[in-house]
Amino acid sequence: METNWISGATGAIAFGRHTFDPQRCELRTAAGAPVPLGQRAARLLQALIEAGGRVLSRDDLLRRAWPGQQIDDGNLRVQIAALRRALADDRALIGTVAGRGYLFAGRAERRPVARSRLPVPASPLVGRAEQPDAARHATQAAGVPAAAVSGAGVSADTVLARVAASRFVTLAGAPGIGKTALALAAAHRHAGTVAWAELDATGTEEGMLGIVAGALGLAPGPRWSSAGALVAALPPAQYAGPVLLVLDNCEHLADACSRLVETLLAQCPALRVLATSRQPLLAGGEMVVRIPALDLPAPEETDPARLAGSGAVALFVARAAAATGHAFVPDAAGLASVAAICRRLDGLPLAIELAAAQVPALGLQRIGAGLDDMLRLLQGPAGTATPRHRTLRAALDWSYVLLPPPAQAALCRLAGLPAWFTLDEAAALLRPAYSAYETIDSLAALAAHSLLAVEHGRQARFRLLATTRAYALSLDRY
């Protein structure tokens, strides 16, 4: 019952295979996802651990969990039972001493949680919810492999659960789909050490290695010429506990990032890697999670509550409120207008945020009309985001320049096809400049870079998002 304790220290509390984060009121077992305990149960667990094996009476615990309140003993028993359920096979760590109270029967120590390098989210994550149990169970029952999960219902917690299960997850998706925002939300919820490496400022492997070295606490320098050299310099003890490395914006350095991740995971058993990229990195052990657009209300939906409950509409309302500086509470007609705007933008978070920012100046009606020239409308003020996220055009430029030239030309021509088209229709449009194989290669490149949606069925169908189509048509005019 010995407890290695530093009074007043901060950070997570480790005992056995469990890690308890008092600030977040979460308990993590091994490398699993964090389990929320609730404020009362978290206070009780912290009090029992801090007691260092001493018995705490009913009154002691009631004062810690419900200060200044008269609470029935039944509430205490309920919270203790909840803690034991969370501890599962280790429920005996919370012991009962008949007639006296409860004690913590384990050894605990403070484990610092490094978050100093994590960016602060510019705004709360809105519109990303947990996948409902019924939907998740239906997916599993259909035999869909975990690595092929589409990303429906992806949230910060589901991302962490997948990282814990596979060690290496890449969040992939279209420009402006919210990959960085989701990765950042997951990083802030991670109970262990987090190293954040933002890669969009470098275009070389050596520059990438220097950024990652700095994120992992190593001094950047010219000696980081290979992934092997970087891994060899890592202090083994520092990375013995759970560490999450986030590689943000990997698409322009996909091969170099792939080599680094494979080397890191082979040498650092406790390390987990979360990457964001517009295309998969194609590394060994990679689980690719395709991030979908936000959910949209059905075109025939008129119920205000259901309109407001969709992820896309909720994001628009939240960002419009931030732009106006006060509550933005549209009536039924206003919600219908917001829903129509979000549908035209295909539920794309960046496009929705840029449109919502125009509410104070234009109002909903003019925004809806202005979407006929959405590339001009969807621009944010300078300094509010990274340069490639200040305008919709800039976000798409970043993807376009990474395409091989044949795919660039194909994108411009495919914008003239209907909303959904088949391989045969694409081939007919691109002949004679493209052979059948070149058409397939171009479609595959566009899909890999998240610029082309693919619907699999008896016959595959393809679709450009409205924002991508507008961009491609604008290029075709030059």
Q: What is the pLDDT of residues 221-236, one digit of tens each?
A: 556 788 888 888 887 6
CA angle 124, 170, 152 (to 5 degrees): 60
- Note the pLDDT of residue 386: 61
- Note the pLDDT of residue 107: 81
Question: Do 285 and 326 fall into the same domain?
Answer: no
- Note the pLDDT of residue 26: 83
| Tens digits of residue pLDDT in 64-95 | 888 888 888 888 999 999 999 989 888 888 98
Question: Do 243 and 161 fall into the same domain?
Answer: yes
Q: How high is the mean pLDDT of the chain? A: 84
The DSSP line for 134-145 is: HHHHHHHHTT--
Q: Is residue 131 part of a domain?
A: no
For residue 350, pLDDT over 70 is answered with yes
In this prediction, residues 259-280 reach a mean pLDDT of 93
Confidence band, pLDDT 50/70/90 cuts, at residue 215: confident
Question: Do 186 and 275 fall into the same domain?
Answer: yes
Q: Any idea of the CA torsion for 60, 65, 69, 73, to the nearest 10 degrees?
A: -70
Question: Do 277 and 164 fall into the same domain?
Answer: yes
Q: Is residue 138 part of a domain?
A: no
Lowest mean pLDDT among 13-27, 311-325, 333-347: 13-27
- CATH number, residue 189: 3.40.50.300
- Note the pLDDT of residue 431: 93
Q: Is residue 145 part of a domain?
A: no
In this prediction, residues 39-59 reach a mean pLDDT of 88
Q: Is residue 178 part of a domain?
A: yes
Question: Do 258 and 369 fall into the same domain?
Answer: no
Q: Is the peptide bond before 175 cis (omega within 30 degrees of 0)?
A: no
Contacts of 20 (CB under 8 A, 6+ apart): 12, 13, 14, 26, 27, 28, 42, 45, 46, 49
Query: What is the rounded distance in angstroms from the CA atom of residue 28 to the CA atom of residue 326?
Result: 38
Q: How far is residue 397 CA from its own chain's centroid?
A: 23
Query: What is the rounded distance in angstroms from the CA atom of residue 91 to the CA atom of residue 283?
Result: 39
- Note the pLDDT of residue 238: 57
Q: Would the pTM of this model clear 0.85, i.e. be above it? A: no
Question: Do 99 and 173 fall into the same domain?
Answer: no
Per the structure, the count of domains in the chain is 4
Structural domain range at position 39: 13-110
- CATH number, residue 101: 1.10.10.10
Tell me what percent of the residues of the chain surpass a pLDDT of 70: 85
| Tens digits of residue pLDDT in 101-159 | 898 888 887 665 555 467 877 777 888 864 333 333 322 333 333 333 333 468 898 99
- Note the pLDDT of residue 28: 80
In this prediction, residues 178-189 reach a mean pLDDT of 91
- Note the pLDDT of residue 383: 45
Question: Do 315 and 369 fall into the same domain?
Answer: yes
Confirm if 274 and 296 have CB atoms less than 8 A apart: no
Question: Do 161 and 286 fall into the same domain?
Answer: yes
Confirm if 49 and 104 have CB atoms less than 8 A apart: yes
For residue 403, pLDDT over 70 is answered with yes
Q: Which of 238, 265, 290 is the last residue of a domain?
A: 290
Contacts of 222 (CB under 8 A, 6+ apart): 206
Q: Which two tokens stand for residue 322?
A: 């931030």
For residue 467, pLDDT over 90 is answered with yes
Confidence band, pLDDT 50/70/90 cuts, at residue 385: low
Question: Do 351 and 396 fall into the same domain?
Answer: no
Q: Is residue 383 part of a domain?
A: no
For residue 333, pLDDT over 90 is answered with yes
Tell me what percent of the residues of the chain surpass a pLDDT of 90: 49
